[in-house]
């Protein structure tokens, strides 16, 4: 399968073309383009489908917070649901959402901290949420497609001839 570096190279190489196509066809507001690119980079760097592996580049990029993905890599087997085109990103977003909700609940319980108003405003802006979702989904889909293409092109190992059976068969005929 392609390495983390290959995935990253492909996703980064395609970002300018994807961003330009988005800009030219849908003419987004600058903030929408920024949210799209931000979601794409976040997803590419930190939300890779390969978080289903115990050791992987995306988990390393989380630095000291990488441990939060340990349960995820235990629950999701490599290239299973985590690598589904539609459901894969959803499993990671839901997982991260649960972790964040737990942290926020802890912070608000201990110190009465709440989400800043800008964050609440973003969550209420449906259009921006769709743009963010598209930015997060695209690199995930590119990853899964590249995995599938490479698997399909890889030469299958030839079945080894079994010498004893071959001889017996020849004698019998
Ligand atoms: Zn993969």
Spans of the chain below 70 pLDDT: 162-173
**Shortest CA distance to 80 belongs to which of 91, 66, 70?**
91
Cβ atoms 33, 23 nearer than 8 A: yes
Whose tokens are 């383009």? That residue is: 33
Domain residue ranges in the chain: 4-153
If you measure from the C-alpha of residue 49 to the centroid of ligand 1, how many angstroms do you get, rounded to a whole number?
Answer: 6
If you measure from the C-alpha of residue 173 to the centroid of ligand 1, how many angstroms do you get, rounded to a whole number?
Answer: 48
**Nearest-angstrom CA–CA distance, 143 and 49:** 7
Read off the pLDDT of residues 26-57 as tens digits, 9 standing for 90 and up: 999 999 999 999 999 999 999 999 999 988 89
Q: What is the pLDDT of residue 168?
A: 47
If you measure from the C-alpha of residue 137 to the centroid of ligand 1, how many angstroms do you get, rounded to a whole number?
Answer: 14
């Amino acid at each position: 399968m392609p390495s983390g570096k290959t995935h990253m190279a492909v996703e980064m190489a395609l970002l300018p073309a994807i961003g330009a196509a988005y800009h030219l066809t849908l003419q987004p507001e600058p903030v929408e383009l920024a949210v799209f690119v931000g979601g794409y980079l976040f997803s590419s760097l930190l939300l890779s489908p390969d978080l289903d592996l115990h050791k992987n580049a995306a988990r390393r990029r989380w630095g000291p917070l990488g441990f939060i993905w340990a349960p995820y890599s235990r629950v999701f087997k490599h290239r299973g649901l985590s690598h589904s085109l539609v459901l894969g990103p959803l499993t990671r977003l839901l997982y991260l959402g649960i972790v964040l909700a737990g942290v926020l609940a802890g912070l608000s319980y201990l110190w009465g901290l709440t989400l800043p108003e800008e964050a609440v405003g973003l969550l209420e802006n449906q259009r921006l949420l769709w743009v963010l979702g598209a930015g997060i989904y695209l690199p995930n889909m590119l990853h899964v497609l590249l995995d599938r293409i490479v698997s399909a092109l890889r030469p299958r190992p030839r079945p080894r001839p079994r010498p004893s059976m071959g001889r017996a068969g020849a004698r019998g005929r």
